[in-house]
Structures are given as C-alpha cells and as structure tokens.
Amino acid sequence: MRGKVKVWRCLWNGRLGCTQRLLHQGPDTLEELLDRHIIAKPKNNEEEDELLNRRRLTSTRREALSLYRDIIRATRFFTWPDSTGLLWRDILRDNARTEFEQARFETDPEIVTRLLIGGRQALHSVIDKLADKQKQHIPKDPQH
C-alpha cells in the first residue's frame, strides 16, 4: 500500500502474547465499546413508563390467554345438558368468552391482576368440585 501508513496496535491476549490489528478497525477503549454497543441512550420517564406498561400488558395478556385456554379445556368434562337442553360445556364457554370480552380493554394492572387471580381460583374450585362429584359416582367395589 503506497502512500498509506498503517497504524498498528499491540493487544495483549493472555497466552498467545501480543497480537496486532489495525488501530481504526474498532473501538480503541473499553468505554468506546460500551458506548457504541451496550450502554443505551438515557430515556425520559415517559418512555420508561410506556416500556414498563408494554411489558406488563404482554405478561398479563399471556396469563389471560393461558387462563382462557385452561377454562376451555376444563369445560370438556361438562357433557350433560341443563334444563333447556343446552350442554353445560357450551354455556360455560359462552360465559367465559363474555367475561373475557368485558375485561378486554381494562388497563389498570391491579384490576387485571385481581380478575386473573379470581378467574384462576374459580377454575380450580370448579375442577375440584367436578372431581369430587366424579368420585362420588364411582361405584365402590369392596373386592378391589
């Protein structure tokens, strides 16, 4: 390379000793490296609040979807009809869908958490009661 001067920098890399690289191929100091790649620009409080709210919404959204799926799975066991002839499975699914739709646009984290906890407790209660009823209907055979 005529007319161009290469500037080399010696780097200590432990066992291998000194290796050389061009000075302008990357950051010169650790601080420059951190500034370029790791340290984020300071954000104002509004941006931090918005990011925190987004994270909360995605986690509560995930929890709500999980609860809804668990409710749908649990309703499979309600195969008997009510007095009007509709299956309890369908009634319970419609009610769950209605309640989730009513709470769909709720943004207060405390209310959303309360709804999720209440829904989860109600689901566990219903499953426990269903299991107890199933145990009562199992014929008790003294020989087994």
> Is 59 found in the same domain as 107?
yes
> Is 106 found in the same domain as 49?
yes
Beta-carbon contacts of residue 56 (< 8 Å; ≥ 6 apart): 109
Backbone dihedral angles phi then psi of residue 76, each to the nearest 5 degrees: -60, -30
Structural domain of 94: 45-137
On whether residue 2 sits in a domain, the answer given is no
> Is 53 found in the same domain as 96?
yes
Check: CB of residue 89 under 8 Å from CB of residue 78.
yes
As for how many domains the chain has, the answer is 2
Task: Give the closest residue to 100 by CA, choosing from 129, 126, 71.
Answer: 71
Q: Tell me what the pLDDT averaged over the chain comes to.
A: 77
- Model confidence at 37, pLDDT cuts 50, 70, 90, reads low
Q: Which range (8-22, 50-64, 101-115) has the least confidence? A: 8-22
> Is 53 found in the same domain as 32?
no
Tell me: the pLDDT tens digits for 46-79?
777 777 777 766 788 889 999 999 999 999 999 8
> pTM of the prediction?
0.57
